[in-house]
Amino acid sequence: MENDSESRIDSSSTTDRTSKSSNIESLGLSHSKLAYDGNFIRSASGVFMAGEIVFGLLVWTLIGGTEYLHVLPLGWVMFVSVFYWVLTVILFLLYLTMAHTRVPQIPWNILGICFNGSASVLYLTAAVICAVSLNVAIRGRYYFISWVASTIFASLAMVCYAGNTTVYFKTWRSKCEDI
C-alpha cells in the first residue's frame, strides 16, 4: 500500500517537473544544466585559485582598512588586488560550475596563461610597492602592521598566480604535443 502511494507521488512529481520544464522551454527559456565539478577544487589549478582568492582578499582588506590614500602608490596596489580578485572569483565560479565547457570557442588554456601571467607580474609590482611604502609608515602603528602583512600576502598571491601560469602552460603544451 505504501509503495503504491510512493510511486504515485514519484510519478506525479516527475510529471510536474516535465510539464514545468516544457512550459519553460515553450516560453523560449531554458533551465540551467550547470554541473558542480568537485574535482576542480582538488586540482592544482583549483588549489592555486583558492589561494589567489584568499590572499588577494587579504591584501585589499588590509590596505583598505588603513589611510592608504595618503600614500599614492598604494592606490595601485588596491587596484591590482581588487581587479584580479574579482576576475579570479568569476573564473573560479566558471570552472567550478563547468560553465567554461559551454563556450568552446574560447582558448581557456591560453586565457589562463595570459591572465595568470599578467596577474603574477602586476602582483609582483604591488608587493614591491607595498614593501617600499613601509618607509612612509610609522613603526608600531596599526597601518604599518597592515602594510607589512599586505606585502607578505601580495607576495603569496603572486606565487599562486605564477604557479597557476605554470599549470596552464603545461596543460597547453601537452595539448600541442598531442596534435
Q: What is the mean pLDDT of residues 29-35?
A: 60
SS (H, E, C) 127-160: HHHHHHHCCCCCCCCHHHHHHHHHHHHHHHHHHH
User: Measured between alpha carbons, how far is residue 108 from residues 91, 99, 105, 161 in Å?
Assistant: 10, 12, 9, 16
Task: Express each pLDDT in 90-131 by its tens digit.
Answer: 999 999 999 888 888 999 999 999 999 999 999 999 999 999
Q: Residue 19 — pLDDT band, cuts 50, 70, 90? A: very low
Cβ contact 154:126 at 8 Å: yes
Q: Residue 18 — pLDDT band, cuts 50, 70, 90? A: very low
Q: Residue 26 — pLDDT band, cuts 50, 70, 90? A: low
The confidence score (pLDDT) of residue 53 equals 97
Q: What CA–CA distance (Å, rounded) separates 46 from 101?
A: 16
Residue 3 has pLDDT above 80, yes or no: no
Q: What is the mean pLDDT of residues 160-175?
A: 95
Residue 12 has pLDDT above 60, yes or no: no
Q: Residue 7 — pLDDT band, cuts 50, 70, 90? A: very low
Pick the residue with more confidence: 26 or 150? 150
The confidence score (pLDDT) of residue 82 equals 97
Q: What CA–CA distance (Å, rounded) separates 119 from 82?
A: 11
The confidence score (pLDDT) of residue 23 equals 52
Pick the residue with more confidence: 177 or 169? 169
Q: What CA–CA distance (Å, rounded) separates 56 from 140?
A: 24
The confidence score (pLDDT) of residue 70 equals 84
Task: Express each pLDDT in 39-93 by its tens digit.
Answer: 999 999 999 999 999 999 999 999 998 888 888 899 999 999 999 999 999 999 9
Element (H, E) at 168: helix 142-178
Q: What CA–CA distance (Å, rounded) separates 94 from 89?
A: 9
